[in-house]
Amino acid sequence: MVQQEQNMLFDMVYAGVHLGHRANAWNPKMEQYIYKKERNIHVIDVVQTMVLLKKACQFTFKQAAQGNSILIVGTKTHLVESIMFEATRCQALYVVNRWLGGLLTNQQTIRSRISKLSVLEKDQNNTTLTKKELMKQRRELDKLRRNFDGLRNLDKMPSCAIIIDPVKEKNALAECKRLNIPVVAFIDTNGDPSGIEYPIPTNDDSVVSVQYLLRILVESVCDGIRVRLANQLQGQKR
């Protein structure tokens, strides 16, 4: 094993990627990704995590290089800041508040709500509204921002989704499956990897472990964007 891979495995363990759920909360379908059980805790095989992460990175790199849109979904409160930061860094769509039913399968309604958000933002300084009307407008604006701020550029169906904890985000996963959208998922030992194209076994509760893996995955997206822009620039010079 090369030094770079050894360093990655060390970093994964240091970040707590290997720490799964209690053994009595496991999903037997995750057995292939479990290294051992220690003190009633399942320990994830980080070698497999590394291999599957690299495979997922190759996929997301290709998607970004082709100019396809990527959606990141993760609504655990303690992960919101990290997900928003990484999604913004790679120009991805994101959902961090809650998954609204029909977000992908009923895009006409969703786009109308996004348009409403833009209208209300432009109307914030409307001096003709009463104090009561302004308060009502601000409440609606805050709600729309919470739900749709990361979807402002949703002008077409995402080509793939990165889901943090498909157990919690089961509705997002179901819609992606229904629409045949490939999924990269950070999945813990209580999850079901069946039907997920790019499962990445990991501790999906820890801020540090999610930050570590998501940063690597997003960097592959950024690399893909750089390649696409370089190719476009080269094409313009011809």
Q: How far apart are CA 124 and CA 85, in angstroms?
A: 26
Mean pLDDT of the chain: 92
Q: Please report the pLDDT score of residue 220 as a whole number.
A: 97
Q: Which residue has the tokens 């928003």?
A: 84
Model pTM above 0.85? yes
The pair of three-digit structure tokens given for residue 144, joined into one six-digit string: 């729309």
Q: Please report the pLDDT score of residue 167 as a whole number.
A: 96
Q: Please report the pLDDT score of residue 131 as a whole number.
A: 75
Q: How far apart are CA 133 and CA 78, in angstroms?
A: 34
pLDDT in tens, 115-156: 888 888 777 766 676 778 778 878 888 899 899 999 988 888
Which CATH architecture group holds 3-104+157-237?
3-Layer(aba) Sandwich (3.40)
Over residues 14-27, mean pLDDT: 94
Q: Please report the pLDDT score of residue 123 as a whole number.
A: 73
pLDDT of residue 225 exceeding 80: yes
Of the candidate ranges 7-21, 108-122, 198-212, 219-233, the one whose mean pLDDT is the lowest: 108-122
Q: Specify whether the CB–CB gap between 172 and 102 falls below 8 A.
A: no
The amino acid that residue 84 corresponds to is M
pLDDT of residue 237 exceeding 70: no
Total residues belonging to the chain: 238
pLDDT of residue 229 exceeding 80: yes
Angle at 120 between CA 117 and CA 126, to 5 degrees: 170
pLDDT in tens, 65-86: 999 999 999 999 999 999 999 9
Sign, CA torsion 140/143/145/151: negative
Q: How far apart are CA 204 and CA 21, in angstroms?
A: 10
List the chain domain ranges: 3-104+157-237, 109-149
pLDDT of residue 217 exceeding 80: yes
Band of the pLDDT at 110, cuts 50, 70, 90? confident
Shortest CA distance to 161 belongs to which of 230, 75, 92? 92
Dihedral of the alpha carbons of 152, 121, 169, 68, in degrees to the nearest 10 = 0
Provide the pairing of β-strand 93-95 with 19-22: unpaired
Q: How far apart are CA 98 and CA 109, in angstroms?
A: 16
Q: Please report the pLDDT score of residue 77 as a whole number.
A: 95
